Structure 1
Amino acid sequence: MDSIKHCIAGLVIAFVFGAAYIFEERLSDIYKEVKKRNEELSIIRLTNKHLKTKVDTLEEFSEATGNKEFVTEKKTIENLSKRVEVVEKSLDNVEKRIQIYDKKEYDFHVTNCEKSWVKFEENCYLFISMNKNFTDAMDFCNKAAAGAQLLEIKSSHVEKWIDLQLTIRGYKNAWIGLTDMLNQGSFVLISTGSKTTYTNWHKNEPNNSGSVEHCVEKWSTGLKWNDKRCDTKLPFVCEMRP
């Protein structure tokens, strides 16, 4: 009987870890797709902007005569605008797929998040686009819900998901709950005051530029960490375990 129980337990564990591996692989693929679409969208919008500027100049001299160059440029802009719409719809579809992964069979931990919070595994996350300094961001999260705090990233697995969420929301950076306010060069988690076992610093960071950088931001470009002045106003993420 004991051997059967061990066998069943082994199969359950294998299934959960196998399913989690599949989820992480699919999440990674979606992240790559989002990054590709955002890069494509940036290039199209930049080209569109240059063309519009050119057309504005040409329009003053060419509209009355029906200059062919002006007509051609205008047509190009129309085509690019349509392409922007297509790419934006594609990003919307990717975000819907992410929401499906959050809500359905790829989530192995049953949790109930409050409205506006996003569920991932055992925690709930609230993405705040308004800019606040580090202290105000901490205070906001603490008041947002019972047990909520400023985001603390403790694994690459969670960080990949956070990367994806920041990217689809268009955040360039965001505060994370790490600081060396008490002891220069010794960064600790704000929830416990203990050193983090996981870090993902950008090259040559932290550097305490100007001897005034004691808080930590996460860049969406490069997906690394950087020490930052605590009075800088940035978007941020709150987290909680329901």
Structure 2
Amino acid sequence: MRCSIIIFVLFAITFGRSLSQHCDVDESQHECGGYCYGAVKPVLEYLAILHKRVEAYEANQPADTASKILLIDEKLKTLGRQTAIQEELLNSKIQKLEQQLASVQETISKLKHKVFEPFQKIGSKYYYIEHENKKTWHGALKKCLEMGAQLASLQNENEMKELRSRLKPHQKYWIDLNDLDKEGEFISATTGVKGTFFHWYKGEPNNLANSEHCVDLTFEYAMSDRSCDLTHCYICELSFVD
């Protein structure tokens, strides 16, 4: 807009100069000035109109910009409120799902506990430890089978340490190892193959009186060979790992 006005002004000045050249030198100064003023007057009036339009435009422009910024700001606030509402709803749904999951997990835990009774989880396995009703090794093996389990089959030191805290001092507990078929070759009654983990008490196995062929575990978490006809406590183990 301003560039157009400047060009127009330059045009008006040039036009005015061209008009002044038509004034003869012998004409009076008054007559030449009046003629030139009469010719340029419309141009000046139009320039005044243009100037007012420019001022009006410049006055309105900041207001229009502020109005647009205000509108954008209101839209952003509205979007922010909508986003906050959606986030709150989402958090509420997540909280409800977490509560439902916790409830389901609690129910499963109770069911597992009920299904596995009287077995209890010790480490990664489920055991039943009989502390009172003593049986021979074969009697203990039969009792475990009746319970859908077998005599405990220990696989490593950690399993022995985990069981130790549940055993009574000075008690002996039958486990599944025996060398009934071949002296000195201890087989797992659970797997039917040679045992892979042993933790013998000092001086054991000794096959005392050539009659000790079954293995027990003591509170000191050490193994010994004993006569299979002796009555001891026993440890049953479910046949799967949780």
TM-score, normalization by structure 1: 0.50
Q: In terms of Rg, which structure is larger?
A: 2
TM-score, normalization by structure 2: 0.50
